[in-house]
A and B are shown apart, each in its own frame.
Chain A
Amino acid sequence: MKRITLGLLGVVAAVLLAGTVGAADLRVGLKLEPSSIDPHYHNLGPNNSAARHIFDRLVHTNEKQQLGPGLAVSWKPLSDTVWEFKLRQGVKFHDGSPFTADDVLFTFERAPNVEASPSSFALYTKGKTLKKIDDFTIHITTERPYPLMPNDVSTLNIISKKHGEGAKTADYNSGKAAIGTGPYKFVEWVPGDRLVLEKNPDYWGEKAAFDHVVIKPINSDPTRVAALLAGDVDMIDQVPTADIGHLKTNPEVVLSQGVSNRVIYLHLDHDRDDSPFVTGTGGKNPLKDVRVRKAISKAINRPAIVEKVMEGIAIPAGQLLPEGFFGVSPNLKVEAYDPEGAKKLLAEAGWGGGFGLTLHGPNDRYINDDKIAQAIGQMLTRVGIEAKIETMPRSVYFSRASRGGPNKTPEFSFILVGWGAGTGEASSPLKSLLHTYDKARGFGASNRGRYSNPEVDKIIEDALATVDDAKREKLLQKATEIAINDLGIIPLHYQVNTWATRPGLAYTPRTDEATLLMNVVKK
């Protein structure tokens, strides 16, 4: 068997050597594909990545999510509640029409109002009032001090007013309205098959490195790797951890790896007294007891998950973001594996006899998600919690996890999820995962465990209204420490992402996990 495998690899390598890549063309195989080309239809990773080629933002983020000038050349707060953005002059849309402040105003008006949006950009435009001062100056006013203004603005792709007026999502998908200022022009999108882009020769910034790009969705992990090895594509994202070992030794493949801003964690039901997927407790919810949560955290062998499930390609996690990000606490350590301590805590809490618990998770969203869930099942079983594992496709999972229960409450008791800090700092997970659920004010949107701690809420809200960076960081650290020590969530590990390219190309890993052609480097 092994000999056959080696033989096959030999053939593949020979084919690879025979084929050459057109210097200016690129074919990319990505695990996920966008649900639309409309940049404001669906706030979803693959959509945002695709849109970032065709459109520009006022503020751009680099591969470490640090902010830099985009369509705005500079910005500054004029007062606690007013921000001034100076726009770039001489920028042209793909059709040759000039970019002005009107396009920005139009974007902010359209973005929150896209019809049938499954996940709206309204959370970034909420509470912001735009005023045009002249063609290249705008003022954005908020009710309260808002230090994250540039971060919010960096998520909104600026569309053309001329083509965007009255345009529906379908007009962007067909390309009719998909006219931006970005480094690549839209050519064609065939859902499920390909997205074709070509170079924008008149781009204001660094010109695109490739004349013609075809991006293909290849969802199946082994198929994506095989496509790269067979030379069907020049680059793939989300290289499966299982294949990294043998790809590393393959001279025809270049791997690029980088830690992401995504923490994989467990959320527990902090709210209901009788939690639906907790059994054998006579209607009580042991997850509300901090000792039980601590026991679960101690029962998990994080290094073993990283070693055996993730093949070493992940970092055990003790909080919301890996080291180096804004707001990370220096005082939090990764929980050590301690099954005996876990059993003791369970006994102390009165659950020495154990109870039944079902862990729900996705099976196609995060790296090895269903395998992680099963490994956690084993570990909990060892300390006496009778664990059941149920995994499902992300399309079903997330809506059920968020609002599958009665009155649109979260359906599950114990879930495996991940959170990528879109803003690249700790307020994003704190605000969405650990602040008390408050739909009207946009807090706790993904707090599927309904964790609620008034002290944490207060500090998060204070932080979000503190413009001074040093003070804000202290507050974010404090909120993180309280919430994590209270086990509002149980962090497992930080994802490390891997891209693979053919020789002559390399990828600069991005912490936001996006695959952008602008980060592909030719050697």
Chain B
Amino acid sequence: MATTETFPVASSEGVAQAESPLKRFLSDYCDSKVAIGALFVIMAIAFVAIFAPLISPQNPYDLGEIDILDGRQPPGSIGLTGMKFVLGTDDQGRDMLSAIFYGLRISLAVGAMSGFLALCLGMSIGLVAAYFGGRVDTIIMRIVDLQLSFPAILVALVLVAVLGKGVDKIIIALVLVQWAYYARTVRGSALVEREKEYIEAAICLALSHRRVVFRHMLPNVMPPLIVVVTVQVAHAIALEATLSFLGIGLPVTEPSLGLLIATGFDYMLTGNYWISFFPGIALLITIFSINLVGDQLRDILNPRLQK
């Protein structure tokens, strides 16, 4: 792709407008129609999540707005107050559509927040390990190894059991579960960068450690990290849903997608499929889209896969 432009043009004009890194990145991304579609789906989900209170027919978390007598109505039925339940209601009489909108809000918030915080934490620790090497590196990486040797869901279960219920507690638990993945990834690429001349030059200029690490090393280890972020955000959303499904994540009166699916599971054999089915589909589409975007990013950012 880059071969269509000749070198002199690019170099003489400095950063050419036609071929700025961002533009090139975007045009590379748009190579895949599926990836574009996935991105739009994510944006749509994000829109729904952010504006859920405005577009939901009902506030599913307000106990005063839901009525047990509307419980387990099939999709399309009309409730006591004349409201239409497009996707039916759950066992407590909650409108499923509203519950899914609000559930997506929790899923995305938990995914994005825990992804971002784990990224910051894991990245810093990984960079420090790679930069200082020696004993610091050994200690940090053994801790990472130790954590990665436990299944993520197990660690998350223990943490949530100790911390208690609530969105904030879930985010803390997920950050503590996921930082190790970032640390491991960053350290790998940072070790390679550490040996390069520009770092040596920066050290020779007697720049502070912090400046070398964050201004010089960090930008060059970002590409693999971005890929890990997408994978881990999807993973965080799935973990949150799993914890809620197991009944230890969020309060029952504020069901997230996992809890809605768990509720529906009780009614699986009775034909009330909609309580599990629609939240399940919403969760599936969310995670699938994020993974598709992540895949495409990996293809673009991995030099070995460059055409």
Contact = CB atoms under 8 A, between A and B. Distances in A.
Interface in B32-90: 62-64, 66-69, 71-72
Nearest to A309: B68
A245 B92 CA distance: 18
B270 A243 contact: yes
A242 B253 CA distance: 20
B165 interface: yes
Contact of A222 (B67, B253, B268): B268
Name the residue among B66, B92, B165, B269 with the largest chain A CB count within 10 angstroms. B269
Contacts of B265: 222
Given A371-B91, A373-B252, A374-B253, A381 B63 contact: yes
A367 to B, nearest CB: 11
A521 interface: no
A245 B62 CA distance: 30
Interface in A418-455: none
A59 interface: no
Name the residue among A245, A371, A374, A381 with the largest chain B CB count within 10 angstroms. A374
A171 interface: no
A245 B66 CA distance: 25
Interface stretch (A45-53, A194-202, A387-395): A387-395
A308 B266 CA distance: 14
A372 to B, nearest CB: 10
B251 to A, nearest CB: 6
A304 B72 CA distance: 14
Interface in A368-400: 370-371, 373-375, 377-382, 387-391, 393
B266 A222 contact: yes
A229 B270 CA distance: 13
A360 B251 CA distance: 11
Interface in B251-268: 251-253, 265-268
Chain B interface, DSSP helix/strand/loop, else mixed: loop
Interface in A69-124: none
Nearest to A245: B270
A1 B269 contact: no
A375 B68 contact: yes
A328 B282 CA distance: 51
A523 interface: no
B279 to A, nearest CB: 15
A379 B268 CA distance: 27
Chain A interface, DSSP helix/strand/loop, else mixed: helix
B252 A5 contact: no
Nearest to B62: A381
B59 to A, nearest CB: 12
B277 interface: yes
A225 interface: yes
B268 A381 contact: no
A371 B267 CA distance: 13
B259 to A, nearest CB: 10
Contacts of B92: 371, 374-375, 378
Interface residues of A, number: 36
Nearest to A12: B269
A388 B71 CA distance: 19
B63 A309 contact: no
Contacts of A304: 68-69
A295 B140 CA distance: 59
Contacts of B72: 308
Name the residue among A308, A379, A380 with the largest chain B CB count within 10 angstroms. A308
Contacts of A381: 62-64
A242 B267 contact: yes
B247 interface: yes
A24 interface: no
B134 interface: no
A305 interface: yes
Interface string A296-308: 0000010011001
Contacts of B273: 1-2, 5
Interface in A324-376: 363, 370-371, 373-375
Contacts of A380: 63
A1 B74 CA distance: 13
A163 B277 CA distance: 56
B64 A226 contact: no
Interface string A1-18: 110010000000000000
Contact of A226 (B66, B269, B271): B269
A240 to B, nearest CB: 6
Contacts of A246: 269-271
A221 interface: yes
A377 B247 CA distance: 18
B63 A390 contact: no
A198 to B, nearest CB: 33
Interface in A220-276: 221-222, 225-226, 229, 240, 242-243, 245-246
Contacts of B71: 308-309
A226 B270 CA distance: 12
A225 B68 contact: no
A449 B287 CA distance: 46
Contacts of B69: 304, 308
A378 B270 contact: no
Contact of B67 (A1, A240, A305, A378): A378
A1 B270 CA distance: 12
B66 A389 contact: no
A380 B253 CA distance: 14
A389 B270 contact: no
Interchain residue pairs A-B with the least CB separation, the first 4: A381-B63, A381-B64, A375-B68, A378-B63
24 contacts: A1-B273, A1-B277, A2-B271, A2-B273, A221-B266, A242-B270, A243-B269, A243-B270, A245-B270, A305-B68, A308-B72, A309-B91, A363-B247, A370-B252, A373-B252, A375-B92, A378-B63, A378-B93, A380-B63, A381-B64, A387-B63, A389-B253, A391-B252, A393-B247
Given A242-B272, A374-B92, 6 more contacts: A222-B269, A246-B269, A374-B253, A378-B63, A378-B92, A381-B63
Interface of A: 1-2, 5, 221-222, 225-226, 229, 240, 242-243, 245-246, 301, 304-305, 308-309, 363, 370-371, 373-375, 377-382, 387-391, 393
